[in-house]
Amino acid sequence: MILVLADKLNATVAADGGARLLRALVALHPDEKRVVSLADAIPGLSVLYSRVAMRGKQYQPVASFYLAALYHLGRRCVTRWAETQFRRTPFRGIWAESNNVVPLVGAELAERFGCPLHVSAFDLPFTYTLHPREASYLAAQMTYWVSRAETIDFATPAMAVLVRHGPPRERDIVTWSSAGLDGRDVVPRVASGQLRRIVFCGSMRFRRELEAFAAALRLINRSRSTPVVLVTVGLRPAPVPGVEHVAFIDSEPDLIRELRRADAAYSPLPFSPDEHILATKYFPGKIATYLLAGLPILAHAPAYASNSGFVVETGVGIGIPTLVPEAIAETLLAFERDRVARDAQAMRGREALARYFRRDERERAFGSILGRTPRGTAA
């Protein structure tokens, strides 16, 4: 049996890295009785974490104590509950994502159950905005689960080097935020004469980048009868004027169909020096989804950012390394005019999927980790 630790398992069904890794895990163990989800067992856990964390950003001085208490006590309570609930279960391994205190709980349970721990590191506490007290606690505790995890798959090679303070270990897996995709049925998007629709499916936290991009589109649309629009797909609309919105799409096939209505896909990462680690170590999992939809990608980020490097080096799109609306507009118009290049970028998406996201390689990697005999069972 595999114990799955995730703080929002049911909400992670979108076409992102976490969902794909989880589906790969379940596929390796099709008998549902062999996969136990702690998130399903304690459905209010993720709601409690998110509500307190959200309040913490608004009331930092007051929330510092409560955040520290929540993480410390929550970690202890969840660990004790799981230990009692599954004390006679012979786990083959524990899979945990890197959010909040989830990997800390996984490390403690793996030690008590005598089974290997595998962590999927999509995000790390210093790669996104948190309450200062929350970030310092999680960053300090990260060394605990990193040292105890037998294997970790990292979103990017740079993240692996950062965490390990050197080259990735032989057993570390760099997933580029995906458990593997089958690109054989990808139909590349054929470039139309004029850009009409650019789609963005991802985090709305990159407001500065979104505002600059939307401003560039307004400049372009001044001289057009048919405007080019940016459409976001997600739980909530982007807080940016002039951006259209499509509600969250749970099914990956339905999401791909929606994405294919667009001419190109938008992938931002921050320009702020304060978020340099996020831009260089994190990798947007939706890039794989864009490739699966056959779209060329607009990487709106500094040249050193992970998404820009990947998109430019693989030739699946272009980089937009500026926040100046006039410069963004000029780049988009040049992109629009070169239909041959746009077609070639869409075609190269299939090659990129085969090279970096091959499903058979990912299944073998995870099968070797999650298919082992446990070192022992709980008493």
What's the pLDDT tens digit per position in 115-152? 888 888 877 877 766 667 777 778 888 888 998 988 88
Give dist(CA 119, CA 163) in Å, integer.
13
* Per-residue pLDDT tens digits for 37-93: 555 555 445 444 444 444 444 444 445 555 666 677 777 777 887 788 777 877 778
Q: What share of the chain is helix, strand, coil (3-state, %, to 5)?
A: 50, 15, 35
For residue 275, the cross-strand partners are none
Average pLDDT, the chain: 79
Which one, of 345, 319, 308, lies nearest residue 191 by Cα? 345
Q: Using alpha carbons only, how large is the chain's radius of gyration in Å?
A: 21
Cβ neighbours of 34 (radius 10 Å): 13
- The 10 Å CB-count burial string (b at 16+, else e) for 10-23 is ebbbbbbbbbbbbe
Which one, of 67, 37, 44, 198, lies nearest residue 131 by Cα? 67
Question: Is this model's pTM higher than 0.75 or not?
Answer: yes
* Per-residue pLDDT tens digits for 284-300: 888 989 999 999 999 99
Give all domains of the chain, ordered by start, each with its CATH number: 2-179+359-370 (3.40.50), 197-356 (3.40.50.2000)
Given a contact cutoff of 8 angstroms between Cβ atoms, the answer to whether 250 and 13 are in contact is yes
- Which own/partner contact pairs does 48-56 have at CB distance under 8 Å and 24+ positions apart? 48/74, 49/7, 49/74, 49/100, 50/8, 53/130, 53/131, 53/134, 56/131, 56/133, 56/134
pLDDT for the residue numbered 17: 46
Least trusted range by pLDDT, from 63-67, 119-123, 171-175, 275-279? 63-67
Residue 330 has pLDDT above 60, yes or no: yes
pLDDT for the residue numbered 318: 98
Both tokens assigned to 142? 């990260």
Task: Return the higher-pLDDT residue of 331 and 69.
Answer: 331
pLDDT for the residue numbered 360: 72
C-alpha dist (Å) from residue 210 to 82, 203, 330: 42, 11, 17
Give dist(CA 227, CA 369) in Å, integer.
50
Give dist(CA 180, CA 175) in Å, integer.
8
